[in-house]
Amino acid sequence: MITRAGRVEAVVVPMEEYRALKALEQREAELYWAVHEARYPSKPGDDAPEGKAYDSMDALLADLDLPE
């Protein structure tokens, strides 16, 4: 909504334009991550905290004290 000279006017964006903008945003995000991954390729265990990489699910469960 836009208020101008005491009047309230609705801003209407045609659905086709809205969808085109969302698709463009999605494409930009995909391109960003493609470039990021090319520059900084991830390796297995990159997202694991230091000292918390497990060789098996059994080792993880044992550390969490959960039943197998």
pLDDT digits over 6-56, tens only?
676 666 667 888 889 999 999 999 999 999 888 888 777 666 666 677 788
Residue 53 located in a structural domain: no
Residue 51 located in a structural domain: no
Residue 33 located in a structural domain: yes
Residues 23 and 32: their CA atoms lie apart, in Å, by 14
- What pLDDT sits at residue 30? 93
Amino acid at the residue 24? L
Domain extent at residue 37? 1-42
Residue 47 located in a structural domain: no
* Domain count of the fold of the chain: 1
User: Is the pLDDT higher at 20 or at 5?
Assistant: 20
Size of the chain in residues: 68
| Residue 36 to residues 17, 23, 24, 25, 30, Cα–Cα distance (Å) | 29, 20, 18, 16, 10
- What pLDDT sits at residue 53? 74
Nearest to 55 by CA among 40, 43, 45, 41: 45
55: left (phi over 0), alpha (psi -120 to 50) or beta: alpha
Residue 3 located in a structural domain: yes
- What pLDDT sits at residue 66? 62
